Structure 1
Amino acid sequence: MTTFAIATLGCKVNAFESESYLESLVERGYFEVDFRERADVYVINTCCVTNTATAKSRRRINQALRSNPSALICVVGCYVQTHGDDLKKQTGIDILVGASGKSGLAQTIDDAMQQRSLPYVHDIKDITTFEKLKVTRFQHHTRAYLKVQDGCDQFCAYCIIPYARGRERSLALHDVVDQARLLSESHPEIVLAGIHTGRYGKEHGTDLTQLVEDILHHAPALKRIRISSIEVTEITDAFIA
């Protein structure tokens, strides 16, 4: 039996993405173990929003390399997108996936088990559509996260996020509702997560208020909806009402 372990750093969006990787790998017959244990495959879902997060990402990579030098090492996420060239030079890393290509990660791991060294990082300017990931339930949490938005268009001088996550994009409203309904079968509470959640739906002609109303209507089993990463200036009168 092929074992895998996942380390997740950073935000709730990363937590959702890691759960998708876990579910996809289990469906393919892989068996999850604790990241501190020896595994055949290690997935490190990285963060780079601060220097501390970047350092923790590097430590997790090195921890995996020490735990099993012959393991397949897959590094994913923001740190890869911003420091991909440096990571390509590091011995022992087999897969690099930046801000896109995440939905096919399990297949990429399957392929890499046969042929190592498959790193790729797409140009952040080319990432313009929301990449849908499937999560039916969270294995280790009572509360579920649901990624509804990604990216940021603000380009603040002090922030690396637009270069790590790309431009703003949202999951289509009907897809959010479908996934919320599915998650509500196992979780009484969900957290709507995004990089800039308050700007949800701008490219679809909808907004966060409409999204919450539709979820409440179509997923009546939910007891509570939380919203992460929203600015106070984005809370409208309609949303409060």
Structure 2
Amino acid sequence: MKKVAFYTLGCKLNFSETSTIGRLFTDAGYAVVNFYEQADVYVINTCSVTDHADRKCRKVVKEALKNSPNAYITVVGCYAQLKPAEIAEIEGVDMVLGAAEKFRIVEYITDLTKKDKAVIHQQSIEKVNHNFIASYSIGDRTRTFLKVQDGCDYPCTYCTIPLARGASRSDTIENVVNRAKMVAETGIKEIVLTGVNLGDFGIIDGNRKNQFIDLVKALDQVDGIERIRISSIEPNLLSNEIIEFVANSKKFVPHFHIPLQSGSDKILGLMKRRYRTNLYTERVGKIKSIMPHCCIGVDVIVGFPGETREDFLETYKFLNELDISYLHVFSYSERAETEAADMKGVVVGSERNDRNKMLHILSEKKRRSFYQSQIGSNAEVLFEADHKEGYMHGFTKNYVKVRAKYDPLNINALKAVKLVALAANGEVDVEELDSVFAH
């Protein structure tokens, strides 16, 4: 039996697609093995969000060939759609597949002979704009990443995603519900809804057929799934109706990840974001008014062209005063074929790094404060399969990471616990309500 191994760079959407591609190989008679084992084929699913895509891809190719020098190397994903010729020049790469072609990978691998020059199969993104290909991860985690939307119609000046993934398009509500039921039958207890612009769900064949709230209401009726988590949603698409529905739902968890990108209205304008800080403040305020225990994560970009020190400090002050739980911080990366790449006011790399560090420190402060606010409360934890230094880990509904003494019987189990103390490593120790887990 031939063996295939995978390496995924980037977002939850990429993980769902890698898992789907893995099932194509399994159906074709391959055995899926760990990336660090010897394999006949290695598939590298790439990301294009930062300017490190080339470097990361080269490093992963090198690692794969270190494991199996004669292995067949295929590179897919967003970077492969944007820069196929660039990837084809990487030593050891045999095939590059674009956005649509990656789901036909098994067809394209006709033999595993190493190539002198990589073969490229990639078409213009416009040709796949209305073609939604469903994906979901299964068998590799406690939770499933379920792709319900792809592509983006927003013209953010720093972003290459519309070039790599095309226009906004979605699955049907019926298809998503059926997949959720199928996932439920496997015993998985949590679904994470994923998409490029998740809140824009509902566009099919170029026409809007539904709204995201329609999908939320339909999934709330699916039996067998204990938790549904919204991975990330734009603030202008996070309506009061969605917030209120989540607050009253038994399945949708009190956790929102809401991209901000900047706390300066001037910079938001340069980024061509579709909201300003006052709307963001309103969304956070609405969430906390009806779900005080809700976890709120925030994406922020530092060092965008034109961001002065004063603009950054405005962002810092805005975030410091906001009732949020953690940050995902990104230093701005110049991306070819984006408007921002030609903008004036370039921020030097050392200054970008300094601002990044400041927000990482703020994020840790926010996370610890949020965790501390939950100490003493009772919660339900979904435990995962990891085993590190005698402990296993899991997450509450509102995304507090806890640790407990390892017990294989608790893998993929929901347990009622009391959050008792903040551990030295930043996680939370818990007691099961009828026995002690960890001190």
Structure label with greater radius of gyration: 2
Structure 1 portions without partners, runs of 5+: none
Please identify which structure carries the higher helix content: 1
Return the alpha-carbon distance in structure 2 between the equivalents of residues 118 and 112 of structure 1.
Answer: 12
Secondary structure of 1:43's aligned partner = strand
> Which is further off, 57-66 or 113-122?
113-122
Instruction: Name 2:162's counterpart in structure 1.
Output: 162
Residue 219 of structure 2: which of 215, 220, 230 is its match? 215
- Tell me the residue number matched to 1:25: 25
Number of aligned residue pairs: 238
Q: What is the correspondence of 1:1-241 to structure 2 with a 5 Å cutoff?
A: 1-109=1-109, 111-113=110-112, 118-133=119-134, 135=136, 138-186=138-186, 187-202=188-203, 203-217=207-221, 219-239=222-242, 240-241=244-245
Check whether the contact 1:172–1:204 (CA below 8 A) recurs between aligned residues: no
Bigger Cα displacement from structure 2, 71-80 vs 168-177? 168-177
Shift of the alpha carbon at 1:34? 1.5
Deviations 1:207-240 (A, max 9, x none): 11111111222x2111111111211221123222
Identity %: 37
Q: What is the distance in 2 between the residues matched to 1:24 and 1:31? A: 11
Q: TM-score, normalised by structure 2?
A: 0.51
Hey, what's the Cα distance between the residues in 1 that align with 2:119 and 2:3? 20
Question: What's the CA shift for 1:115?
Answer: 9.3
Q: Distance in 2 between matches of 1:48 and 1:31?
A: 29
Amino acid at match of 2:196: I
Contact 2:70 2:114 in 1 (8 A): no
Say whether the 8 Å CA contact 1:103–1:133 is kept in structure 2: no
Q: CA deviation at 1:107?
A: 2.7
Shift of 1:58: 2.4
Q: Distance in 2 between matches of 1:21 and 1:77?
A: 11
C-alpha distance in 2 between matches for 1:25 and 1:108: 12
Q: Secondary structure at the residue paired with 1:103?
A: helix
Distance change in 2, residues 1:115/1:73 (3 Å): closer
Report how far residue 31 of structure 1 moved. Answer: 1.2
Q: Which residue identity lines up with residue 218 of structure 2 in the other structure? A: D
Rounded Cα–Cα distance in structure 2 between residues aligned with 1:45 and 1:126: 21
Contact 2:44–2:74 (CA under 8 A) maintained in structure 1? yes
What is the CA–CA distance in structure 2 between the aligned matches of 1:197 and 1:134, rounded to whole Å?
Answer: 14
1: CA distance, partners of 2:160 / 2:57:
16
Query: Per the alignment, in what secondary structure is the counterpart of residue 184 of structure 1?
Result: helix
Higher normalized contact order (CA 8 Å, seq sep 6+, divided by chain length):
1
Once residues 111 and 208 of structure 2 are traced to their aligned partners in structure 1, the CA distance between those partners, rounded to angstroms, is 36
Deviation (angstroms), 1:125: 2.0
The structure with more strand, counted as a fraction of residues: 2
